[in-house]
Amino acid sequence: MNEPVTRMLADDAASRALGIQVHDVSAGAATATMTVRADMVNGHGITHGAYVFAVADTAFACACNSHGPLTVAAAVDITFVATSRAGDVLEAQAVERTRFGRSGIYDVTVRRGDDVIAEFRGTSRTVGNAPA
């Protein structure tokens, strides 16, 4: 895995607690997966949107930090396309669209198998150098 991302994930207690696993990190791209647990569903029996957002956000963070300097989210937008339920495995694939100055735009698609669950667009902002 990419060294800056490995360092970032070592301190990412939130993603670890949610069971999010990161795979296939390369320059400007990353894939993360999460199995929806029973405690992640809302009163309608579907995955709470915050958890769908979380797996997308982790993939986004890995993609935009893959270049090395410390980079954070400046803005995000998510569109929920379909529902998921406990037991479903969500896969978030992030891809860099462009970088300009200290900013970047990344698209993340969250899927359950072939079904699209959500589309996420994030704008990143580089705020410093990679941690030592």
3-state secondary structure at position 96: strand
pLDDT at 88: 98
What is the per-residue pLDDT across 7-42, written as a single tens digit (0 to 9) for each? 999 999 999 999 999 999 999 999 999 999 999 999
pLDDT higher than threshold 80 for residue 98 = yes
Across 6-20, b (16+ Cβ under 10 Å) vs e yields eebbeebeebeebeb
CB atoms near residue 69 (< 10 Å): 14
Pairing between β-strand 89-100 and β-strand 21-26 as defined by DSSP bridges: unpaired
pTM here? 0.95
- Classified by CATH at the fold level, domain 3-126 comes out as Thiol Ester Dehydrase; Chain A (3.10.129)
| Strand pairing report for 103-112 and 115-126 | antiparallel
Domain ranges of the chain: 3-126
| Band (91; pLDDT cuts 50, 70, 90) | very high
